[in-house]
Structure 1
């Protein structure tokens, strides 16, 4: 995984430089681990065990916020003992802060514009994804405890898996995204996660049709840091569940296109 690690470190260094240049007003960085035995991969099947290590960074600056996450995934032999890196970066520009005006209305706290990218590489023997995706679109920032952002994003996605001689670009297509982190009163618990509904993206790189995709990933996390005197939200543990239908746009007749995956999760924040 040497090349993957180098790429991750390069992106992390670039993010640090951006954060410093933007004079972050707040920031949260964590490392985490999650584990599940019911992952699924299209054309491979289900019942795959994965160990996933992640680095996550979120920060706010004068005109908006940044979010960066990298997952390093290790599959068992049902998925070729494959290793994967998946990187997500989002920047949300708060239009109210930029304009100096209060743009709130009803249940909406503010309006924004979100831009960013997804990037992955995987070394399995069947598909070996090398996804590249750019995203751009408006965001509603809802007035809730914690945060709830709802975005309508336009996606430009390409890939160059095994058997494809040049990078293939799918049709432009929209994604409805919701991301949230909501504390549950003063219990030390929080409900967090994201939902992506992605429209079909035309023909795939092999000439087959694609299908609308639904990915819901939600977790309930507990602040274990406070009772252990480590600091509030320093150490967090919880349960996570992912429902992923038509994974990566593969229709329901493809084996492994539907995943229902419970996981355990632990995070250390610094």
Structure 2
């Protein structure tokens, strides 16, 4: 494990050094909240109400883009904490750094289909205070294609994934098998005041979970319609839809509660600085 941590640190060092030296071209930072009463958790028969507080930062500099995302989940008593005194609380954050071919190459891409190509590196960390007490840690490295469309943005990515976690019931740390993830994200301006954005992601099975059960491929679909109440830098509200198949890579076919599949609408609000 120490060797793996060293390799991960060394692989990320060039990305972090470039980010520190680069001049920023533009940035968007926001604080927001999402809510639904119909979230699901694997092997839990109840629909779970969750309030999710969020901070997001996106920026571009001389070498590429930065994406920082932090979620703080507050669940209702349908999803209890390990002491059963309150609903579960969870933190999940990720940071992605990309390096742009157009920014680094002498001859930028000249194509009617492709705007740019990026190398990408991403790190995820999390913790939840349930009986299971998962502590996910993930590293994803690969690339993405930024497609040329009339307006808005459309990206497709492919990355290799290494991840590990902790099982608070068996009291042991464990690693998943290396895998791959492919995803597509979009942001399309519908009107001057509204936009349609989302992501579709597929993660291949990652071996056995912390109980020795086989995992299954995970599919995530999120789509949001957002409306600007005031200026672009200000309040936004909207509605979203989230669908997880085999949530957390659990096998929904073996889940008698059907809690490993989630389909819910979400209310959204944010303020952009």
- Would you say 1:268 and 2:245 are equivalent positions? no
The runs of 5 or more residues in structure 1 that have no matched partner are 1-16, 226-230
Q: 2:186: which partner in 1? A: 180
SS at match of 1:25: strand
8 Å contact from structure 1 (residues 104, 111) kept in 2: no
Return the TM-score normalized by structure 1: 0.87
Q: Distance in 1 between matches of 2:20 and 2:104?
A: 19
Backbone CA RMSD of aligned residues: 1.8
8 Å contact from structure 2 (residues 100, 117) kept in 1: yes
The runs of 5 or more residues in structure 2 that have no matched partner are 1-16, 81-86
Structure 1 residue 192 displacement after superposition:
1.0
8 Å contact from structure 1 (residues 224, 233) kept in 2: no
Instruction: Give the alignment of 1:111-122 within 5 angstroms.
Output: 111-122=117-128
1:167 aligned to 173, 189, 197, which one? 173
Q: 2:24: which partner in 1? A: 24
Q: 1:133: which partner in 2? A: 138
What number of residue pairs does the alignment pair up?
248
Deviation digits for residues 205-261 of structure 1 (CA, Å, limit 9, x no counterpart): 211111111001110000111xxxxx3241110001100000011011223100011
Q: Distance in 2 between matches of 1:129 and 1:104?
A: 46
Q: 1:259: which partner in 2? A: 262
- Would you say 1:98 and 2:104 are equivalent positions? yes
Structure 1 residue 269 displacement after superposition:
0.5
Deviation digits for residues 64-123 of structure 1 (CA, Å, limit 9, x no counterpart): 000001000000001000000010111111112111322243421111111011111000
1:88 aligned to 64, 71, 94, which one? 94
Structure 1 residue 45 displacement after superposition:
3.1
Q: Distance in 1 between matches of 2:185 and 2:68?
A: 13
